Amino acid sequence: MHFDNLYTHDFARIAVGVPQCRVADPAYNAEQTVALLNEAAARGAALVAFPELGLSSYTCDDLFHQRALLDACEQALGVVLKASESIPTVAIVGMPLRVDQRLFNVAVVLHRGRILGVVPKTYPPNYGEFYELRQFNSGLDAQSTEVSLLGQTVPFGAQLLFAASDLPRLSFAAEICEDVWTPIPPSSFAALAGASVLVNLSASNALVGKAGYRHQLVSQQSARCLAAYVYSSAGEGESSTDLAWDGHALICENGELLAESQRFKSGAQLICADVDLERLARERMRQTSFGMSVRVHAAEVGRYRRLGFELGIRRDKPLALDRRVERFPYVPSDRARRDERCHEVYNIQVQALVQRLRSSGIDRLVIGISGGLDSTHALLVAAQAMDRLCLPRSHILGVTMPGFATSERTRAQALRLMAAVGCEALEIDIRPSCELMLKDLGHPYAKGEKVYDVTFENVQAGERTNHLFRLANHRGALVLGTGDLSELALGWCTYGVGDHMSHYNVNASVPKTLIQYLVRWVAETGQLGGATDPQVLIDVLETEISPELVPGSMQSTQATIGPYALQDFNLYYTLRFGYSPGKIAFLQRQAWAGEHSLAEIKRVLRIFVSRFFKGSQFKRSCVPNAPKVGTGGSLSPRGDWRTPSDAESAVWLADLDRVPDDPC
């Protein structure tokens, strides 16, 4: 299996073809269908869906009862079937079909010269501009469970599930147009039966406002079913006697739009999207309500017949992922969505802190201000919380505590920030108390030696925390924590000190990359209100992330533990979806192509795996209360992440070791 092949990582390329058609001209329609089928195969698609009644055209009306047309449709199906013999792509085509002296509107599933099954439409509409019951029967009235078609004996029925043996997470079911517009679509039961891809062969005429509703319908059905939903529509060539057609095709995955056709486009078109089958399987495994729904609807689920087939997709050659992978999964790339995300996260943090202060009966806060990113954002949240409680910001005691390596830049930024916010400001030089502690410990530094070890660093961190808690006792206040999600994930915090322990922490489920945007958003949108120096927030953003604990050196955090941009990517896909390191490396290679080599991605990912899975959980098991802000997860032992502190990381490291250094 080739590392740079999307099928290696449980993606499947799904396509929708919108051919140009002619009314009641099956031979022409078959020719157009075959052309798009070949294009889908050339693009590496596992499956391609075509419109409802595409071989005949949807608008034949009473011509559907003409034998010549029905015979010609079966001949056209034979043309498409013949063309499918040499390609691995599954084709799902629509046509009218006679079964047991009745006429059905069906989806025919073809693969490599074989008809895998025929699915009739369950709910033909008979209202408004639709009067399908004039020509067609409902699949509910079908008697036969098999049909003879083009010399093959073929499964027939609405409850058919098609499963690829060589791509185990790919199983699909088909429904037709109106079926998804009903209160309980057949695809809902198909999903409960195991279908990860739901295919809708539709004609769907164009009306004002209908495209927007289609978006909602398809998106929500994919979200409810934790599935991919593939929707076709008839395009150019359908009759305009009473209707118009826009060729609107959609592919959604768990509520997210992956691909969409161009409406009212002249000629044929094909859209493709790479569906993450593992993500869908993971969501179904995680959401226990999905499994309970299977039990509740066991009778309907039990009616499905599972039809296995071998897809035959090659994995031994590169096939690049045709899907946008965000570099910053916690931060939307679109400016409007990013601003909306920042507004929501900020207000969740503020509201949670307001509630904590109200419930505790305490109206004062103590917070350590370093002049760096995390404490800056926590102070902004605290200021807004005081505003909402109609309390003066002087109820916040900001404390900056320079140590042996504090730079003048961060010290000045801390003082400017507190002045801008309008809180009470206090500066405490912790060096004397640290020197006393080091002397009590018998540390070499107390004897004049320049030994800057972990003890030297942690004494400073501990002294700061000690001062904060004692000040909180003295002032009748809560200590507000500042440590973020990224630091907790990597264990980049000292046990029991300020970036780990507090009375309440508003940042604990916010990753570093998002905090950067939150601070910028506050600066740009004037959330500080009467602040006179919002420029200090920009200065904080431009400051190197550093603990500033060792004199005479620039301690770059990201030089030690890797760039937070990469580590937050690793965290998101590990925590949210449980992906293996190999798949995360594949996705990160797609997202950061041209900027980070695979070797660098693997190096940083190894740091993450080593720190996240072994050696850091004991710190996460006792974190203080903190609000969860997003679906990206939190590491609270009371929420998204409950694991033993003595787990091993060997299986994750072994998986990473299987990633080739050079996929070529």
The catalytically annotated residue of 21, 39, 52, 225 is: 52
The distance from CA 567 to its chain's CA centroid, rounded to whole angstroms, is 17
Is 283 part of the annotated catalytic residue set? no
Q: Report d(CA 350, CA 379) in Å as an integer.
A: 11
Mean pLDDT split into 10-residue runs, the chain, 664 residues: 94 98 97 98 98 96 96 98 97 98 97 98 91 94 96 97 96 97 97 98 92 95 98 93 92 97 94 98 96 96 97 93 95 95 97 98 97 96 97 98 96 96 97 97 96 96 96 98 96 91 96 96 84 82 95 92 97 96 97 93 97 94 94 89 94 96 70
The CA-atom distances, in angstroms, between 367 and each of 30, 39, 620, 621 are 71, 61, 21, 23
Which residue ranges does the chain devote to CATH 3.40.50.620? 335-657
Computed over its alpha carbons, how large is the radius of gyration of the chain?
A: 31
Architecture of 335-657 per CATH? 3-Layer(aba) Sandwich (3.40)
Q: Report d(CA 556, CA 562) in Å as an integer.
A: 10
For 307-325, how does the pLDDT look when each residue is reduced to its tens digit (9 = 90+)?
Answer: 999 999 989 999 999 999 9
pLDDT of residue 271: 98
Is 447 part of the annotated catalytic residue set? no
Which residue ranges does the chain devote to CATH 3.60.110.10? 6-309
Residue identified by tokens 């539709």 is 202
The catalytically annotated residue of 121, 512, 583, 602 is: 121
How many other C-beta atoms lie within 10 A of the C-beta of residue 655? 17
E strand intervals along 470-581: 478-481, 504-505
The catalytically annotated residue of 21, 73, 177, 434 is: 177
Q: Report d(CA 463, CA 466) in Å as an integer.
A: 5
Please name the helix (run of DSSP H) or strand (run of DSSP E) that holds residue 42, with its range, or none.
Answer: helix 26-42
Contacts of 334 (CB under 8 A, 6+ apart): none
Strand-strand pairing, 365-368 and 478-481: parallel
The CATH number given to 6-309 is 3.60.110.10
pLDDT of residue 531: 53
Which of 63, 91, 87 shows the shortest CA–CA distance to 77?
Answer: 91
User: In three state form, how does the secondary structure of 378-443 look?
Assistant: HHHHHHHHHHHCCCCHHHEEEEECCCCCCCHHHHHHHHHHHHHHCCEEEECCCHHHHHHHHHHHCC
Reading phi first (left if > 0) and then psi (alpha if -120 to 50, else beta), residue 220 is in: alpha
Is 52 part of the annotated catalytic residue set? yes
Which of 559, 553, 558 shows the shortest CA–CA distance to 452?
Answer: 553
Which of 337, 386, 331 shows the shortest CA–CA distance to 362?
Answer: 386
Residue identified by tokens 């517009």 is 181
Q: What is the model's pTM? A: 0.94
